[in-house]
Amino acid sequence: MSVLSLFGAPPADGLPDDAPRGRKAELILAGELLAAMRHSQQTMTVFISRLAGRVVNDVLEVATRQFDASATPIVCRYGSPVGCIEINNTSGHSITVMAGTTGQLTPPTVGIGVYVVPAGARVPVNIAAAELTLFGTAADSFSYQVFAAGSLATSGLVGIDGGVA
């Protein structure tokens, strides 16, 4: 009688008894691979931007735009992934930001990669795509800044040690 038989035979695959197997293990692996790919994309953004030679301080574009008379969506394409777009919506209507592009003329109201910027708001929107689409109302103008790095949401407190910034 061997010592191993006192604790039961180990599984044939060499994994602990409580380790996930089959479909559950595949789902966990797929999730881990997806997380690793996303992390790799974020890490490579800075390097791609620098290799392209167009990015200083992670800024991809700064502009003021106006929607045309038919409110055609504005599509922005960049040579590297966008980390964040900060929109200063000076119009009286909301602007919808969507990661990626679409052929539709009406803005999506819900979904992953969709963010609605209210009228009169200045909002940073984190994006994980090299293309984005802006939807708005005819003749409305707005300003925006596009960065290769993501934005960290900040509270109203920006002072250090009680100081005022």
- The answer to whether the beta carbons of residues 150 and 39 sit under 8 Å apart is no
CB contact set of 130 (below 8 Å; sequence gap of 6+):
77, 78, 79, 80, 81, 82
- To the question of pTM greater than 0.75 for the whole model, the response is no
Number of folded domains that form the chain: 1
For residues 88 and 120, what is the distance between their CA atoms, to the nearest angstrom? 7
Strand 122-135 relative to strand 95-99, pairing: antiparallel
Tokens of 104: 């539709």
Domain assignment of residue 82, given as a range: 52-147
Residue at 104 is within a domain: yes
pLDDT tens over the chain, length 165 residues: 455 555 555 556 777 888 888 888 888 888 889 888 877 876 776 667 666 655 567 788 999 999 999 999 999 998 778 889 999 999 999 999 999 988 888 999 898 889 999 999 999 999 888 899 999 999 999 999 998 888 765 444 333 344 343
As to burial, measured by CB atoms within 10 angstroms (0-12 exposed, 13-18 middle, 19+ buried), residue 78 is buried
Residue at 97 is within a domain: yes
Residue at 91 is within a domain: yes
- The answer to whether the beta carbons of residues 83 and 148 sit under 8 Å apart is yes
